[in-house]
Amino acid sequence: MISQEDILHAFHFRHACKAFDPARRISDSDFGLILEAARLSPSSFGYEPWRIVVIQNAALRERLLPVTWGAQKQLPSASHYVALLARRDGLTTDGEYVQHMLRDVLQFPPERIALRSKTYQKFLEHDFHLLDSERALFDWACRQSYIALANMMTVAAMLGVDSCPVEGFEQEAAETVLADAGIMVRQHWGLAVMAGFGYRVQSPAAKIRRSAEEVVQWVE
C-alpha cells in the first residue's frame, strides 16, 4: 500500500524539468511502467482516442527542434521524448474507429453497442455539441490524451524520473515533420501534446501553488 506521504512526495518532486542530464537513461522497466500507466488510463466512453509515439531517433528530434520552441533544451537531452497523438476522424457514432473500439476492443455484443451508440450520439449532439465542427471533436480527443499524459508524469515522479509537458510547438509544422517521417497520417491523427522524460541536472525552485482554500469549494 502506497502511503500518503509517498504520494505527496511524488507531487512535490514533479516539476517541469527544463533540461535533462543527457548521460542518464531511464531503465526499460521504469519507462515500460510509465507507458503502461498511459495505456491503462481512463478515457471518455473508454474510446482511448490517443496514440503514444516514443521518439528516440536523434535525427527526428533534430527536425522537430526548429518547430518546438518549448523544448529547445528538453528535445536534445531527454532520455525519452514522447508525442501524444489524438484522433482526428472516426469519432462519430458510426465512425470506423469508434466501431472498432466497440466491437474489437471492448467486445460489446450488438445490443450493448446499440445502447452505447444512442447514449454517445446524445453526448456528441446535445451534451457537448462536439459535432459543431471537426475541430471540436479533435479538441475533445486531445483532452483525453492529457489524462494519459498526467498519469505518465505522476508515475514517473513516483519512480524518481523527471518530466516536462510540452505545448510550445507549431502544431501544423510539427505534424508535418511527423507525417513526413511516416509516423502519422494527418487525416487520422493530430499532435495533441509532447513530453520529455529523464533526470534533472539541477534542483528546481520550490513549488508554488494556490492555497487549497482558493482552489477547492465544498458543497454539502
The sign of the dihedral angle between the CA atoms of 88, 53, 199, 74 is negative
Q: What is the pLDDT of residue 62?
A: 98
What's the mean pLDDT in 55-74? 98
- In the chain, where does DSSP find H-type helix? 4-13, 28-39, 58-64, 74-77, 96-100, 110-122, 134-158, 171-180, 212-215
pLDDT digits (tens, 9 = 90+) for 180-216: 999 999 999 999 999 999 999 999 999 999 999 999 9
130 CB burial (10 A radius; 0-12, 13-18, 19+) = buried
C-alpha cell at 192: 495533441
CB burial of 10-35 (b: ≥16 within 10 Å; e: otherwise) equals beebbbebbbbbeeeebeeebbebbb
pLDDT tier, 134 (very low <50, low <70, confident <90, very high otherwise): confident
C-alpha cell at 188: 487520422
Identify whether the C-beta of residue 201 lies closer than 8 Å to the C-beta of residue 76. no
Rg of the chain taking only CA atoms, in angstroms: 19
Q: What is the pLDDT of residue 1?
A: 86
Domain ranges, ordered by start, for the chain: 4-215
Q: What are phi and psi of 84, to 5 degrees?
A: -100, 120
Q: What is the pLDDT of residue 199?
A: 98
Q: Which fold has domain 4-215?
A: NADH Oxidase (3.40.109)
Q: How far apart are CA 66 and CA 49, in angstroms?
A: 28
pLDDT tier, 108 (very low <50, low <70, confident <90, very high otherwise): very high
102 CB burial (10 A radius; 0-12, 13-18, 19+) = buried
pLDDT digits (tens, 9 = 90+) for 71-92: 999 999 999 999 999 999 999 9
